[in-house]
């Protein structure tokens, strides 16, 4: 596991960005919770934002919040469609 992480990080180029301290703390906390690195978490988030699959990962990355919101909207749409069907009948 560590060797795989080491080789993946070694293959990456380093870029420097400036983020607010509270944002970086949130990223580190989330990365810890998901048992990944902050680098990997930021890379996945940027890939999802840019809608470009990462090399070796053809599955788009979606956050749980987006998926939950889609489920909520799908349920609400179903209720609206059901209401329309009843009013027409």
More confident residue, 47 or 83: 83
Judge whether residue 57 has pLDDT over 70: no
Check residue 88 and give its pLDDT: 82
Are residues 69 and 52 part of one domain? no
Do 45 and 76 belong to one domain?
A: no
Is 2 a member of any domain? Answer: no
Kindly state whether residues 54 and 79 are assigned to the same domain.
no
Element (H, E) at 60: none
**pLDDT classification of 47: cutoffs 50, 70, 90:** confident
Residue 9 lies in a domain: no
Q: ∠ at Cα 28 (15, 69), nearest 5°?
A: 100
Residue 81 and residue 51 share a domain = no
Confidence of residue 17 (pLDDT cuts 50, 70, 90): confident
Domain count, the chain: 2
Structural domain boundaries, residue 45: 19-58
23 and 53 assigned to the same domain:
yes
Q: Is residue 11 part of a domain?
A: no
Cα–Cα distance for residue pair 38/44, rounded to 1 Å: 10
Same domain (yes/no): 51, 71: no
Do 50 and 29 have their domain in common? yes
């Amino acid at each position: 596991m560590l060797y795989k992480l080491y080789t993946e990080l070694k293959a990456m180029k380093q870029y420097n960005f400036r983020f607010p301290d509270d944002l970086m703390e949130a990223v580190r906390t989330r990365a810890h919770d998901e048992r990944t690195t902050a680098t990997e978490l930021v890379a996945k988030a940027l890939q999802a934002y840019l809608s470009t699959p990462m090399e070796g990962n053809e599955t788009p990355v979606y956050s749980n919040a987006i998926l939950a919101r889609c489920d909520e909207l799908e349920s609400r749409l179903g209720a609206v469609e059901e209401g329309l069907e009843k009013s027409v009948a």
